Amino acid sequence: MQHTHRYTISFITLVFLLILVFFLNVSLGSVSIPNKDIINILFGIDQNPSWHYIIMDYRLPKAFTAIIVGSGLGISGLMMQTLFRNPLAGPFVLGITSGASLGVAIVTMGSSIFGGILLGMLASKWTIVIAATLGSFLVLLLVLIVSSKVRDAMAILIIGLMFGSVSAAIVNVLSYFSSAEELQQYFFWGFGSLGNLSWNELLILFVIYLLGILLSLGTIKGLNSLLLGENYAKSLGLNIKRSRLIIIISTSLLAGTITAFAGPIAFIGLAIPHITRQVFNTSNHKILLPAVFLFGSIVMLICDSIAQLPSSEYTLPINAITSLIGAPVVIWLLVRKRKMMF
Amino acid sequence: MSGTLNKHIVLKTNKLSIGYTSKKETTTIGSNINIELHKGELVGLVGANGIGKSTLLRSLTNVQSKLSGDIFLNDKTLDAYSNLELAKVLSLVLTESLSSKNLTVLELVALGRQPYTNWIGNFSKKDIDVVNEALIQINIEDLKDKKCFELSDGQLQKVMIARALAQDTDLIILDEPTTHLDMYHKAYILKLLQRLTKETGKTILFSSHEIDLAIQLCDKMIVMTKNNVVSDEPCNLILNGTFENLFPKDLIAFNEKTGSFRVKK
């Protein structure tokens, strides 16, 4: 409580770092553009039109997407870990990604089974976004219906995992009957991508993300009392069922939409809360939530910068980079501190 | 204790029946329970394992619904309280371990102010004062920056009591607050509870297996046996021979002079 100022310096450092990696992210890419020109473009001073296009319509929306993806997944992971009292939980334990994958699998690979009706829509990216949203929303709906019937949060966790298994199995069956091109399209979605969003798409993503973030702010107090356990939280006046519902809806909005637009980004949701807890050494969500926002954004921007393989024409799948970079960091933090903060 | 008649009744039950209901059948664990707890009383709840102490406490705290009868908290029936209203009248210390022990003592005790804080949990001047007061009353100010995982069982129990105290309720209910503690700390915690009732005027109800300590320290005891639930002052309970029926008689016997149980030779 009174000790909040202790974290001020850390927060200022992180904000500074965020701005730094943001500019780093924008300045790096397959086409090298001098920093001075980038700043000019950002401030609207006319420059080389192709550079202008690269910065304003590709790199900038990509950097904003990275911030939304990193912070959104990190915050949903934090909420899930506290709600389920489980350090292994992430935004995807509710089966949201599996639902999204299922939706995408049906539109990309289902055409050979369901015939030519879907074929015409295949090329559209919006089809994939809508399919992923519908898929995650459907799974969420099932989880919500079930969670209103069970008392124990752990049961919801298991049920989410079960939904995930069922979706994965259906995807397997679909892929068994699919052609190579269809499989490839599905797998490309699975690699994850931050760079495909136009400003319009980004705006939609941002509005839903904002809604999820606002809801998550309302859960801070409840999350803190849940640190004591559900019975204590209830004795402190918390309406457990309502809090649980808000947390699940917020997570679904965040993780569901992000997955729909950027693909299933692994690892961030699980790891960022742990990195934040290790560094800040607290479990107070009033500190953790903004800190996870910053860490998530920073890590995602760094991962994206690396995935671009600066000055080369290749872009690595972001999904692989997040794990390649993130996993060693978490291992190093845990080994160094010898104790997991939870 | 002649003054108890005039004292404010904090908790009262009327023909209360407790137990479990499932679709098929109703299991009654205790019935016709009539107890009255007054302001500032320290009340111990004793009974053999499995007799239903926890069920009674769960029913009194609205964790579990009663079968029939009435429970009144400050003259208002328990069912009429919302979660938040109840949190301002009744605080708990439970046996379950904390989900996270990464909180500092100060943070944990401050969580007791949650029923009073705004939507994001900001503390007012009063909240901070009450928390500091609770730390002083339990004498754990020196622990306040420690993490909960650094504490011994006895210290953690004190912190949990401070948290309940910070919640500033008329009634505090503790479920077996002395388990896992050594003999000294058992006495310490119960003595602390007694001091708190005197200093703060709060009513404290706890369940315990420390019958001899409870007899020495409590204003009133609730004794649960298979057939009935008796509540009275400890000396009256001894005179009436209530404790003799507490346990099966083959192994231990109650000694009225010492107020404790002895193994039969």
DSSP letter string, chain B: -GGGGGSPEEEEEEEEEEEEE-SS-EEEEEEEE--EEETT-EEEEEE-TTSSHHHHHHHHTTSS--SEEEEEETTEEGGG--HHHHHTTEEEE-SSPPS---SBHHHHHHHTTGGGS-TT-PPPHHHHHHHHHHHHHHT-GGGTTSBGGGS-HHHHHHHHHHHHHHT--SEEEESSTTTT--HHHHHHHHHHHHHHHHHH--EEEEE-S-HHHHHHH-SEEEEE-SS-EEEE-HHHHHHTTGGGGSS-TTTEEEETTTTEEEE--
Encode pLDDT of A238-294 as tens digits.
998 899 889 988 988 898 889 888 988 878 998 999 989 988 988 999 999 999 999
Least confident range from A99-113, A305-319, B40-54: namely A99-113
Q: Are residue B10 and residue B47 in the same domain, yes or no?
A: yes
The verdict on B169 touching A (C-beta cutoff 8 Å) is: no
Q: What pLDDT is stored for residue A124 in this prediction?
A: 65
Least confident range from A250-259, A309-318, B6-15, B141-150: namely A309-318
Which structural domain, as residue segments, surrounds residue B85?
1-89+178-265
User: Which residue of A lies nearest to B105 if distances are taken between CA atoms?
Assistant: A1
Residues of chain B above pLDDT 70, percent: 98
Q: Are residue B161 and residue B223 in the same domain, yes or no?
A: no
Q: What pLDDT is stored for residue B41 in this prediction?
A: 96
Encode pLDDT of A206-253 as tens digits.
999 999 999 999 999 999 999 999 899 999 999 988 998 899 889 888
- Tally the domains of chain B: 2
Of A186 and A213, the one with more pLDDT? A213
Of A47 and B161, the one with more pLDDT? B161
Rounded to an integer, the average pLDDT of B15-36 is 91
Taking an 8 Å cut-off on Cβ atoms, the answer to whether A236 and B117 are in contact is no
Asked whether the predicted pLDDT for residue B1 surpasses 70, the reply is no
| Residue A95 near residue A163, CB atoms below 8 Å | yes
Q: Which of B87, B98, B100 has its CB closest to that of A236?
A: B87
Q: State phi, psi for A296 to the nearest 5 degrees.
A: -60, -45
> Between the CA of residue A35 and those of A38, A61, A65, what are the distances in Å?
5, 18, 21
Does residue B157 lie within any of the structural domains? yes
Encode pLDDT of B243-260 as tens digits.
988 998 889 999 888 888
Q: Are residue B67 and residue B198 in the same domain, yes or no?
A: yes
Encode pLDDT of B183-223 as tens digits.
999 999 999 999 999 999 999 999 999 999 999 999 999 99
Q: What pLDDT is stored for residue A291 in this prediction?
A: 97
Q: What pLDDT is stored for residue B2 in this prediction?
A: 44
Q: What pLDDT is stored for residue A191 in this prediction?
A: 87
| Residue B13 near residue B178, CB atoms below 8 Å | no
Does residue B20 lie within any of the structural domains? yes
pLDDT tier for residue A164 given thresholds of 50, 70 and 90: confident
Q: Which of A77, A233, A331, A283 has its CA nearest to residue B149?
A: A283
Q: Are residue B135 and residue B209 in the same domain, yes or no?
A: no
How far apart, in whole angstroms, are the C-alpha atoms of residue B102 and residue A287?
A: 13
| Residue A73 near residue A212, CB atoms below 8 Å | no
Of A256 and A12, the one with more pLDDT? A12
Q: Are residue B75 and residue B103 in the same domain, yes or no?
A: no
Give how far A255 is from chain B: nearest CA, Å: 23
Does residue B173 lie within any of the structural domains? no
CA dihedral sign, ordered A201, A202, A205, A206:
negative
Q: Are residue B23 and residue B48 in the same domain, yes or no?
A: yes
Does residue B112 lie within any of the structural domains? yes
Q: Are residue B183 and residue B131 in the same domain, yes or no?
A: no
Q: Are residue B148 and residue B219 in the same domain, yes or no?
A: no
Q: What pLDDT is stored for residue A117 in this prediction?
A: 53
The CATH code belonging to domain A24-337 is 1.10.3470.10
Q: Are residue B71 and residue B182 in the same domain, yes or no?
A: yes
Query: Distance between alpha carbon A332 and the CA centroid of its chain, in Å?
Result: 23
Q: Are residue B149 and residue B217 in the same domain, yes or no?
A: no
Q: Are residue B142 and residue B212 in the same domain, yes or no?
A: no
Q: Are residue B36 and residue B80 in the same domain, yes or no?
A: yes
Q: Strand B42-47 and strand B220-224: pairing? A: parallel
Asked whether the predicted pLDDT for residue B104 surpasses 90, the reply is yes
Question: Which of B78, B83, B163 should we substitute to test contact with A (largest number of A Cβ atoms within 10 Å)?
Answer: B83
The verdict on B124 touching A (C-beta cutoff 8 Å) is: no
Q: Where are the domains of chain A?
A: 24-337
Asked whether the predicted pLDDT for residue A1 surpasses 60, the reply is no
Asked whether the predicted pLDDT for residue B156 surpasses 50, the reply is yes
How far apart, in whole angstroms, are the C-alpha atoms of residue A268 and residue A327?
A: 10
Residues of chain A above pLDDT 70, percent: 93
Q: What pLDDT is stored for residue B170 in this prediction?
A: 96
Asked whether the predicted pLDDT for residue B127 surpasses 80, the reply is yes
The count of C-alpha atoms lying within 13 angstroms of the C-alpha of A55, restricted to the half-sphere facing its C-beta, is 26
Tokens of A90: 């992430």
Does residue B67 lie within any of the structural domains? yes
Q: What pLDDT is stored for residue A115 in this prediction?
A: 56
Q: Which of B144, B168, B192 finishes a domain? A: B168
Q: What pLDDT is stored for residue A4 in this prediction?
A: 57
Of B83 and A33, the one with more pLDDT? B83
The CATH number covering residue B235 comes to 3.40.50.300
Asked whether the predicted pLDDT for residue B142 surpasses 80, the reply is yes
Of A274 and A182, the one with more pLDDT? A274
Tokens of B61: 């705290």
Mean pLDDT (chain A, rounded): 86
| Residue A315 near residue A309, CB atoms below 8 Å | yes
Using an 8 Å CB-CB cutoff, list chain A residues near B94: 229, 231-232, 235
The verdict on B165 touching A (C-beta cutoff 8 Å) is: no
